[in-house]
Amino acid sequence: MSRADSSSQGRILVIDDSLTVRTILRVGLTREGFEVDCYPDGIAALGVLYAPDCLLPDLIILDIVLPKLDGYELALRLRKMPSLMHTPILMLSCRSSVLDRLKGRLAGATVYLTKPFRMAQVVEAARTQLALRTRADT
């Protein structure tokens, strides 16, 4: 398993059941130089992440309300994977209560943003988290 090549800003995995949100994030993040893979639910994403030839993401953008497996449970599972335990998770959800934010943090989210979102806000959060991770790795 490997990470994004050095010519990109980083590989981002987007998991959101909304085709519209996935498309907006894919287009916006790709324009900013990121490699983006998108999945409509956590089960599909886990299937790919458990594959031996998987290209690991440098950052995960995760919705909470997902079919089959909610974002909280998915984040907990991702945090148990040795290859992803330190990968930043940006939760992006329409749920905005203090309790939802707390549950997100407890599940392993590094950043919690709410919908509707501004693309610039997501890009800034992604770059910040990837820069912090790069510093921690050195």
Q: Which domain holds residue 25?
A: 11-129
Q: Is position 135 within any domain?
A: no
Q: Could you list the beta-strand ranges (E) of the chain.
A: 11-15, 35-39, 59-62, 89-93, 111-114
- Is 98 part of a structural domain of the chain? yes
* CATH number of the domain bearing residue 91: 3.40.50.2300
For each of the chain's 138 residues, which pLDDT tens digit applies? 444 454 578 999 999 999 999 999 999 999 999 999 999 999 999 999 999 898 999 999 999 999 989 999 999 999 999 999 999 999 999 999 999 999 999 999 999 999 999 999 999 999 999 998 777 665
**Does this model's pTM top 0.85?**
yes
Nearest residue to 46 via CA among 26, 69, 12: 69
Q: At what angle do helices 42-49 and 71-80 cross, to 10 degrees?
A: 10
